[in-house]
Chains A and B, each alone.
Chain A
């Protein structure tokens, strides 16, 4: 079975071994795609019009979609976070979709999912401290100081559960598909994987990327209000 993360190269940088795994390589590929798209958008927008048409209209619609999403789900206060969630959603969506063209999705590695969940964790703390200051720290000791360990564990388990949800969904799809590719009879290898790719990569991938953003936003809103 080829769903394990294999090491492509080992670099020696300053006496330290740096393992370049397939996850890191695929992340670079997806990052290059996103950066190239961003540069393309920037170059196409050199003729900025006040009344958007065509390509500019599509790009503005994408940005506006996230602005309204932030306003509806997170409230007016969290509007500055819109670019962050746009970035996270774009990367997670592209990474979940990348299983369709045969890349190993970077989110099928727990490290990637946990990195994004850690970003959410940092945002929760920063936003809570920024908007509620002392009241946020006090909320750990409610309703009774005895509950402090429970509250702390509940707070620390958030990034873990958030990352496990994304990672488990993508990994289960990857394992099932690689089993189908290797174990199914030859005539089934042409039709069946297409349907499974559609469900596991496109549907579940889009749903999990959306749910990751919504849950992060709800956690941040819960801390900030």
Chain B
């Protein structure tokens, strides 16, 4: 019985690691946002304030998918519904 529980736990940890892999693309997108913002600030230094404000909003928008992955990983590790389901079935 503990072997199947170990299998579920191992799968949950691998799933959490895969869910965190979306940080790759999120960070890539955020890097592109910051690169474009720096470019436009270098071209128009007098518009730096408004560009910076817009950049932070864009960064927050792009961060959302990374946060979703993080929450999935946290749920997988600490509040896994499958483990609870399995433990309920054991008398």
Measured between beta carbons, the chain A residues less than 8 angstroms from B78 are 4
Known contacts A171-B74, A175-B74; is A165 also within 8 Å of B56 by CB? no
Question: Shortest distance in angstroms between A189's beta carbon and chain B's nearest beta carbon?
Answer: 23
| Nearest B-chain residue to A73, judged by Cβ | B53
CA distance A175 to B75 in the complex (A): 13
In the complex, chain B residues 17-70 whose Cβ is within 8 Å of any chain A Cβ: 53, 56-57, 60, 63-64, 67-68, 70
Measured between beta carbons, the chain B residues less than 8 angstroms from A4 are 78
Chain B contributes a number of interface residues (CB within 8 A of A) equal to 12
Known contacts A171-B74, A172-B70, A175-B74; is A165 also within 8 Å of B60 by CB? yes
Measured between beta carbons, the chain B residues less than 8 angstroms from A161 are 64
| Nearest B-chain residue to A1, judged by Cβ | B78
Measured between beta carbons, the chain A residues less than 8 angstroms from B64 are 161, 164-165
Inter-chain CB contacts under 8 Å: number: 32
| Nearest A-chain residue to B57, judged by Cβ | A214
Measured between beta carbons, the chain A residues less than 8 angstroms from B68 are 164, 168
Q: Please state if B57 and A211 are interface contacts (CB–CB under 8 Å).
A: yes
CA distance A134 to B24 in the complex (A): 43
Measured between beta carbons, the chain B residues less than 8 angstroms from A218 are 57
Question: Shortest distance in angstroms between A13's beta carbon and chain B's nearest beta carbon?
Answer: 28
CA distance A164 to B70 in the complex (A): 10
Known contacts A161-B64, A165-B63, A165-B64; is A211 also within 8 Å of B71 by CB? no
Q: Please state if A215 and B70 are interface contacts (CB–CB under 8 Å).
A: no
Measured between beta carbons, the chain A residues less than 8 angstroms from B67 are 164-165, 168-169
CA distance A215 to B57 in the complex (A): 7
Closest 3 CB pairs of A and B: A168-B67, A211-B60, A168-B70
5 of the cross-chain contacts (CB-CB < 8 Å) are A161-B64, A165-B67, A168-B71, A169-B67, A214-B56
